[in-house]
Amino acid sequence: MIDLHLHSTYSDGSDSPSELIDLALALKLKAIALTDHDTINGIKEFLSYGDGKDITLIPGIEISIKHEPKREIEDVHILGLNLDYTSLHLSNILKKQIEGRIEQKKLICKRLREEFGYKITFEEVKVVAGNNSIGRPHIVKVLTKNNPDILKEKSKDDLFKMIGLGGEAYVFREFRLSFENAIELIETSGGIPIIAHPGIYNVSNRRKFVTFCVAAGIKGIEIEYTYAKNRPFVNTGKAEWAQDYFPQYYRKLADDYNLIRSGGSDYHGKNKNIEMGEANVPNNYLKNFKNKIEN
């Protein structure tokens, strides 16, 4: 098996890039991709530590896309696989993306404190995140630490929803790459743009959405994914249905649109109840992926 959707401590995972490799080797995975949120800062460690080890390592990223409700683009993510992480153009654009993420998280902390009365500051969240890309897990960690009674009222899932898109404390990001600009950035950096976890998006017509993605320049689609353990299906009656239905559905669309098949667990270590390799992505995807790169 392979796993082409993993997060490290450089974004909102709990394992370092080196630890991801050690775990993948212990699980006998043939290939893994590091796809941290809006950052490539962990890739150097990832590739350096894995050099000479019996595993294929793919440098990647997961880019958060600008919300455009009129086009039904809300909380959509694009994976970029096989990136040239040394690209200065890529680094410069991602710097702006990270600045937008930081400002958003500052405002979310402010809302939580001033409107909801929770004890939390952005400075505390920043300490928890260290030098890494700040994400919702860092905010939730500070919230539960500073406000121990909060878990009597809300579950951790509730807290994640509260600061996620549509949540009471959510704040829109001022700077985010558009759908097309993210695809262009990935391709100009030598990578392959892949639509991440397509089954979680709230769209009126899933085939129409994939048609739009292809027209915009998407080259691949995430087929296998941990739908049962991710929003909006986790802890609902649709979890098992989603886990069974979506891989079959998107496999068919991948054939219809000649898209590269990808898949991954969306592993975040201790920050999410998901195991590396849990998505059961077949090894033959790697062969197709390599062939596409070579062509």
**So where are the chain's domains?**
2-88+176-294, 96-162
Tokens of 52: 């000479």
The reported pLDDT for the residue numbered 174 is 76
Give the confidence band of 99 by pLDDT, cuts at 50, 70, 90: confident
Which residues are 56's β-sheet partners?
A: 31
- To the nearest 10 degrees (0 to 180), the angle between helices 206-216 and 239-257 is 40
CB of 277 within 8 A of CB of 244? no
DSSP summary character for residue 50: H
The reported pLDDT for the residue numbered 165 is 81
pLDDT tens per residue, range 189-207: 999 999 999 999 999 999 9
Q: pLDDT averaged over the chain?
A: 93
According to the 3-state scheme, what is the secondary structure of the chain?
CEEEEECCCCCCCCCCHHHHHHHHHHCCCCEEEECCECCCCCHHHHHHHHCCCCCEEEEEEEEEECCEHHHCECCCEEEEECCCCCCHHHHHHHHHHHHHHHHHHHHHHHHHHHCCCCCCCHHHHHHHHCCCCCCHHHHHHHHHHHCCCHHHHCCHHHHHHHCCCCCCCCCCCCCCECHHHHHHHHHHCCCEEEECCHHHCCCCCHHHHHHHHHHHCCCEEEEECCHHHCCCCCCCCCHHHHHHHHHHHHHHHHHHHCCEEEECCCECHHHCCCCCCCCCECCHHHHHHHHHHHC
The reported pLDDT for the residue numbered 290 is 60
Spelled out in words, what is the top-level CATH class assigned to the domain 2-88+176-294?
Answer: alpha beta
pLDDT tens per residue, range 222-245: 999 999 999 899 989 999 999 999
Give the confidence band of 293 by pLDDT, cuts at 50, 70, 90: very low
- To the nearest 10 degrees (0 to 180), the angle between helices 136-146 and 88-114 is 30
**pTM given for the model:** 0.86
Give the confidence band of 271 by pLDDT, cuts at 50, 70, 90: confident
For residue 91, give the nearest of 24, 193, 219, 185 by alpha carbon: 185
Tokens of 272: 């999410």
Instruction: Provide mean pLDDT across the span 136-159.
Output: 91
